[in-house]
Structure 1
Amino acid sequence: MSDSTLKTPTAEEKGTLVYVTRETEVSYWQPKPANGYVSVAVSPNHFKMNRNFSVGTQMLPPGGRVREHAHAANEEVLHFVSGTGTAIVDGKEYKLEPGVTLFLGEHNSHTFCNDGQVDLHWVWFMNPSGLEDFFRDVGRPRKHGEPAPEPFERPSNIEQIEASGVFAYTKN
C-alpha cells in the first residue's frame, strides 16, 4: 500500500494527544537514600490511553542510591542522559553515562548509585505501568524549579506500599 492510499482516520479513530512540560508533569521528591526526584510524563493515571505503560524521568544527586529491587511482572527501560554512576544488575556492575540504555526484564535485581560529581538523570519506561504509584506513595509533591527539601525518611508503611505495587522485592 502506498502512502497516497492510506486511509485518513476519523476524529473518533484518532488516539489521545497530550503535551507535557516540566511545569505540567507530575513530580515527586524521593526519600533517602535516593533523594532527588522523579517526574511522571505518561501514565494511565493521568489520561486515557490504549496501552498500559508509563514514562518519566528521574534525577539522582551525587551520593544518591536507588535501593536494590526487582519487578515481578514489569519490563523497564532506562536511558541515561546526563551524569555518571553505577548500576548493579543481578550482581554484575555496569557503568552509567549519557547514551547508556538498560532493558530490565522481569525479576532482574537492580540498584543504581550516583558515584559521580553531578546529578545523574535518566528517562524510564515501565510496562505495564505502576512504578509511578510507588513514587507518589513514598515521595512528596514537587514543583519544577523549587529547591530540594532536606533529605527525608521513607514512609513507615513502606513494606505495605512495596507489597501492593510493582516490586518483587526490595533490599536496603
Structure 2
Amino acid sequence: MIPPKKPEWAADPENNLGQVLVLGPQEGKNFYQPVPANGNISVRIAPEFVDIQSPFSIGTQTLPPGGYVREHSHPEHDEALHFIRGTGKAVVDGVEYTIEPGVTIFVGRNRRHMFINNSDAELHWLWFIQPNGLEVFFEEVGRPVIPGEPDPTPFPRPDNVLEIERRTAFAPQPTDQRRPE
C-alpha cells in the first residue's frame, strides 16, 4: 500500500481555496476484500487524505468472476457508482439492472442494493459515497495490498463484521437478504 502524498497545495482560507491532491495509479489505500466479494478496493479520496468541506469518499472496486457485494443499505449515505469494465448485474430494491461499461447508478439512503459479477471477466467500477465511512469499512474488513505479495483471496470476513458495519456506513443486515441467483 502506498499512502497518499501530502497535498502539495495547502488550503488557503484567506482566499477561500481548498487543498489539491493528485494521486498516481498505485497510490491511495488499497485493500483485498473478503468473501463473498473477494477482489480489491482502492480508496482514492477520503477525509483523512485532505480537508473536505462536505465529507465524502471515493474509490474503485474490482470484483472477480463469481464475486458479489452482498445486499445492503446505507442509513445516512447517498452512493453513486460508475461501471468502467466488465459486465454483471445490480439489484436495487429487488429490481435487476444490467451492468456494463458506461452504466451509472445512484442509490439513495436506505435503498437495498447488491452487485454481482456473473461473467468470466473482472467487474470494475468507481464508487462515491457521502457522507464518508465506506472507506473505513473496507480497511477494517480487508487486508492491505502489498506490491509483490500474493493475493490472499479468498479469506473470511472478520468475526466482528456486523459491528464494523454498524459503526461505519451500513444499516443492519435485512433478515430477508437476497442472494445471487
Measured after TM superposition, the shift of residue 113 of structure 1 is: 0.7
Q: Quote the offset at 1:22 in angstroms.
A: 2.3
**Whose RCO is larger (CA < 8 A, sep 6+)?**
1
Figure out how many residues of one structure are paired with residues of the other and give that number: 163
What SS does the aligned partner of 2:120 have? coil
Structure-1 separation of matches of 2:51 and 2:76: 22
Task: Show the counterpart of 1:88.
Answer: 91
Q: CA–CA distance in 1 between the matches of 2:41 and 2:99?
A: 18
Does residue 127 of structure 2 align to residue 124 of structure 1? yes
Give per-residue Cα distances to partners, 1:32-79, cap 9 Å, x unaligned: 010000110000022222221111000000000101100000000000
Tell me which structure has the larger Cα radius of gyration: 1
Q: Check 1:49–1:145 CA distance in 2 against 1; reply closer, same or farther (3 A cut).
A: farther
Report the RMSD for the aligned CA atoms in angstroms: 1.6
The residue that corresponds to 2:35 in the other structure is 32
How far has the Cα of 1:123 moved from its partner? 0.1
* Unmatched tracts of structure 1, length 5 or more: 1-9
Cα displacement string for residues 82-133 of structure 1 (whole angstroms, at most 9, x for unaligned residues):
0000111000000000000000001110011100111000000001111001
1:147 CA drift (Å): 3.8
Unaligned stretches of 5+ residues in structure 2? 1-11
User: What TM-score results when the alignment is normalised by the length of structure 2?
Assistant: 0.85
- Could you state the TM-score of these two structures normalised by the residue count of structure 1? 0.89
In 1: Cα distance, 2:146 partner to 2:44 partner = 13
Partner residue, 1:75: 78
The one of 115, 131, 136 equivalent to 1:133 is: 136
Q: Is this contact kept in 2: 1:138–1:158, CA < 8 A?
A: yes
Contact preservation (8 Å) 1:23, 1:144: no
